[in-house]
Amino acid sequence: MVFFFFLNYFGIRVMGKTNTGMTWWKLILPLVTILLLISVRFDLANFTSIFSGTFKGVSVTSSSSGFMPYGFAPVMSAVATSGIVFSFLGFRQGLDYGGESRTPQRSIPIATIGSVLIGILVYVLLQVAFIGAINFHALGIPNGAWALLQSNPAFPSANYNFATAPIYYLNGAPFASIASSVGLVMLTYVLFADAYVSPSGTLNVYLGTSMRTLYGTAALGYLPSSMLKVDQKRRIPVMPLIVSLIVGIIFFAPFPSWYKLVGFITSATVFTYLIGGPALRSLRRNAKELKRPFKLPGSSILAPLAFIGASLVVYWSGWPLVGDLAIAIFIGLIVYVVFFLLKQKSDPTRQRIHTSEFIKSGIWVPVYIIVLSIESFIGETTLGGSNYVPYPWDLVMVIIVAIAFYFWAEHSGIRTQEIEEIVSLDSQYLTSDEEPFGSKGGA
């Protein structure tokens, strides 16, 4: 983290060049892995075969087929907690850095949509190659015995004496294990190296994103003014970058593994996406006069779909993670209120936002966080819930509640004083002298 702190410190150009190299690495290596695995070993039977019977005294049954031995419910849990959603979160970095682009109207849509489409293509092909490359005979289990590929299965430990060394290895390093089993020794070493390189690229970008988020929060008056000081040579705010580094290091402490950290970060980030759809539609209604270099078509349909999708991903995170996230968010809300009150005390001329009108327009957020936590608690057992609402009725419950809250959220938006000033003064965009990180970036 310290290394990437200095990359970001030396400005957007240095960080951008480093990130470009890592991006190519993270794109080329998966494609090479896909081609090599498919060309060396690819068994189509793996996509349809399933074992159901007794193996070494243990009855293995499945209500599904192929490579979903426990049905579709665990797939949804994996989406939220196994890094699948996390792998697609890179789309937002194009938005976070968009203000530093020379042509944001063209670059932002390409970066946002392109990153998602490329990610879908690469990850789907990776999973296809992985599934086709599984060699059940080499793992010491019957063909199609997908339920036995766990190193910690839901079987009594006394009976589960067939978790062979290859299965443990497969669980610990899936692609490296597959590459080694088919004789791609060099690829195995490269994949182990990639286990360090790829997360480092993510860390590099997220550190810069956190810096800009803190700066924006300070610009809105919710953090101390010291966060607004910009290094004129580097064109970056140093204090937010330092705070991001410290908070990032502290954040590693409660999590025993990268897997747990990714699950928490994914769910916490998706929580923030709940705001996007209602905010877009509210601004379309309450700020029609604002200039929109890029106007999302079909937003009346896409916005509620996005809200429902974000709600489902949060729900799929499972209990008690959703409850833990709710507690963390409310703690953050308390910290925010303290900072704001301190700032308002030192500057009595600041606009008061804790009025009944503002509270009424935003009260749906904490209420919905509590409701999502309750839904998670009463939801299906597979996701850690109490199974008061079993699958698939739990999904119906989440979708119906999400639709209701979406329309509440959309119609809670108001035309604020800031919007009135922006429209009347034509001050929607900063001038070149006002821009904190010029479009040309840092040194």
Mean pLDDT in order along the chain per 10 residues (443 residues): 68 64 85 94 86 71 57 72 72 66 74 85 92 87 79 44 69 86 90 81 73 80 79 78 82 65 75 88 87 81 93 88 89 83 70 76 93 94 89 92 95 84 73 54 36
φ/ψ (deg, to 5) at 59: -80, 125
Q: Can you give the pLDDT at residue 15?
A: 62
Number of folded domains that form the chain: 1
Q: Can you give the pLDDT at residue 249?
A: 78
Residue 358, in any domain of the structure: yes
Exposure of 329 by Cβ count < 10 A (0-12 exposed, 13-18 middle, 19+ buried)?
middle
Identify whether the C-beta of residue 29 lies closer than 8 Å to the C-beta of residue 204: no
Domain containing 342 equals 259-426
Residue 93, in any domain of the structure: no
Closest CA to 135 of 168, 173, 160, 167: 167
Residue 215, in any domain of the structure: no
What pLDDT, in 10s, does the model give residues 30-48?
999 999 999 999 999 888 8
Q: Is 372 left (phi over 0), alpha (psi -120 to 50) or beta?
A: alpha
Residue 297, in any domain of the structure: yes
Taking CA atoms, 177 is separated from 39, 124, 130, in Å, by 17, 19, 10
Exposure of 311 by Cβ count < 10 A (0-12 exposed, 13-18 middle, 19+ buried)?
buried
Identify whether the C-beta of residue 92 lies closer than 8 Å to the C-beta of residue 113: no
Closest CA to 372 of 408, 301, 324: 324
Residue 102, in any domain of the structure: no
Residue 332, in any domain of the structure: yes
Token pair listed for 331? 């703690």
Residue 409, in any domain of the structure: yes
Q: Can you give the pLDDT at residue 369?
A: 94
Residue 79, in any domain of the structure: no
| Gap between the Cα atoms of 6 and 204, Å rounded | 10
Token pair listed for 165? 């060394």
Q: Can you give the pLDDT at residue 257?
A: 62
What pLDDT, in 10s, does the model give residues 322-373?
998 899 889 888 888 887 777 777 766 566 666 788 888 889 999 999 999 9
Helix-strand-coil split of the chain, %, nearest 5: 65, 0, 30
3-state secondary structure of 54: strand
End-to-end CA distance of the chain: 21
Closest CA to 165 of 155, 154, 180: 180
Query: Taking the complete model, does pTM exceed 0.85, yes or no?
Result: no
